[in-house]
């Protein structure tokens, strides 16, 4: 079996048995192919790798200037791959097991202020063209639900129609979660759906193949790409007077979580709506809670100088 065949079979397994998303599969493929290229210069095969080879590889990534976070992702890809080889009986051990994850400084998520978010939403509402209605639906849904952009663009109409107050989101590992949909976001979605067919391919033959994506396009996946959504948000930022470098789909996800916590939501509820399997992932937003509690003490405590 060739090296590339092993990677292909691994990716097939991750898709069929683990429900890995297309984005995750592409990341695995890039990481493993890069490691395979690294090994080829030393004339080594993937199956005979030792821990020392992986340490040398990580040192090589460091020399290229890759961050600790990126190195950790590469290491995770390798760990999953060698676990697969063990399960298949190709290896007896996992060479990644004894290698620690590169230490990462925890950075606070970037998020927009409520004022900047409001400016974006207002600018989106002013454009009543078909493209404007689509953009308004995109940004209203992102901010109202905290969805990942990959979850947004791959929404199907059936996920939006079962209950007008709830959106069914298909998250990582094909796990469904229910997210409340505000009346404002529902209205933006419904207005857009009235013109949705205008974004389908032009030929009658292609229209028959409509697979029900909420945001169809002529791309290979049949729906709007994450990259295109990012471009549209940058253009909207310019129109609304918000610095484009501050705006991205993921920043709106952070804004959703941060603004909820600022207004009294509990961390567990935010965890469920974001689709985090572990609350430790959501705890990065606790800086907001800490700031609010500090402000509460300064303003309300009887011994505070402001009291």
* Cα torsion through 174, 207, 145, 137, rounded to 10: 170
Active site residue 143: no
Active site residue 276: yes
Active site residue 285: yes
Tell me which of 186, 253, 254, 259 is the catalytic residue. Answer: 253
Tell me which of 186, 196, 254, 276 is the catalytic residue. Answer: 276
Q: Is the Cβ–Cβ distance between 57 and 37 less than 8 Å?
A: no
Residues 6+ apart with CB under 8 A from 258: 109, 111, 285, 288
Tell me which of 6, 134, 148, 254 is the catalytic residue. Answer: 148
Tell me which of 172, 177, 234, 272 is the catalytic residue. Answer: 172
Active site residue 268: no
Active site residue 253: yes
Residues 6+ apart with CB under 8 A from 226: 149, 150, 153, 249
Separation between Cα atoms, residue 65 and residue 83, nearest integer Å: 28
Residues 6+ apart with CB under 8 A from 62: 71
Separation between Cα atoms, residue 249 and residue 192, nearest integer Å: 19
Tell me which of 110, 177, 250, 292 is the catalytic residue. Answer: 250
**What residues act catalytically?**
148, 172, 250, 253, 276, 285
């Amino acid at each position: 079996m060739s090296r590339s065949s092993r990677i292909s079979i691994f990716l097939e397994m991750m898709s069929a048995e683990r429900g890995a998303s297309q984005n995750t599969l592409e990341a695995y493929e890039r990481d493993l192919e890069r490691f395979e290229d690294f090994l080829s210069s030393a004339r080594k095969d993937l199956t005979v790798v030792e821990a020392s080879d992986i340490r040398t590889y990580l040192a090589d990534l460091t020399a290229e200037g890759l961050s600790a976070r990126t190195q950790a992702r590469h290491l995770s890809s390798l760990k999953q791959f060698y676990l697969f080889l063990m399960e298949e009986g190709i290896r007896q051990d996992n060479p990644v097991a004894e290698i620690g994850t590169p230490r990462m400084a925890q950075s606070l998520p970037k998020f927009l202020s409520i004022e900047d978010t409001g400016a974006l939403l207002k600018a989106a509402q002013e454009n009543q063209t078909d493209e404007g209605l689509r953009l308004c639906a995109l940004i209203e849904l992102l901010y109202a639900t905290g969805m990942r952009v990959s979850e947004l663009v791959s929404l199907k109409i059936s996920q939006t129609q079962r209950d007008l107050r709830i959106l069914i989101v298909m998250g990582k590992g094909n796990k469904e979660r229910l997210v409340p949909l505000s009346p404002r976001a529902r209205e933006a979605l419904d207005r857009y759906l009235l013109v949705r067919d205008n974004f389908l391919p032009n030929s009658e033959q292609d229209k028959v193949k409509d697979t029900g994506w909420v945001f169809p396009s002529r791309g290979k996946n049949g729906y709007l790409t994450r990259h295109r959504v990012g471009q549209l948000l940058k253009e909207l930022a310019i129109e609304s007077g918000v610095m484009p470098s501050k705006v991205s789909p993921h920043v709106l996800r952070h804004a959703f979580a941060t603004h909820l916590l600022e207004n009294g939501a509990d961390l567990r509820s935010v965890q469920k709506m974001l689709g985090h399997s572990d609350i430790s992932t959501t705890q990065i937003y606790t800086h907001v809670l800490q700031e609010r509690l500090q402000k509460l003490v300064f303003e309300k405590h009887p011994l505070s100088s402001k009291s």
